[in-house]
Amino acid sequence: MAIAELTPAERDAALADLGEWTLAREGKAIERTFAFADFSEAFAFMTRVALLAESQDHHPEWSNVYNRVEIALTTHDAGGLSQRDASMARAIDALL
């Protein structure tokens, strides 16, 4: 599916509302690190994100070490950031 990459202005506007997320990969991705009480809490969060990703057909690039989860969002089909990444970041924050 063709989807447009955000312009720098759109990117900066999206990030303004996503206070905990930072720009990465020279503006091609956004990322956030989450820390939970323990592995079980971290994995429960990852399960919720996984179901969200499937429902949105938009999938994170992520890693987990014990109680920490690192998530990066980018749109492969756009070759960088799209509105889908901003929407997904907001939806992920709502799963906390």
Which residues of the shown chain bind ligand HBI in the complex (CB under 6 A)? 1, 57-59, 74-77
- Token couple for 13: 């506007």
Q: Which is nearer to ligand HBI, 41 or 72 (CB)?
A: 72
DSSP state of 80: B
Which CB sits closer to ligand HBI, 15 or 30? 30
What is the C-alpha to C-alpha distance for residues 93 and 84, in angstroms, rounded to an integer?
14
The answer to whether 78 and 3 have CB atoms below 8 angstroms apart is yes
The least CB distance from residue 84 to ligand HBI, in Å, is 7
Least Å distance between CB 80 and ligand HBI? Answer: 10
If the CB atoms of residues 62 and 67 are measured against ligand HBI, the closer one turns out to be 62
In what helix (H) or strand (E) does residue 50 lie, and over which residues does it extend? Answer: helix 39-56
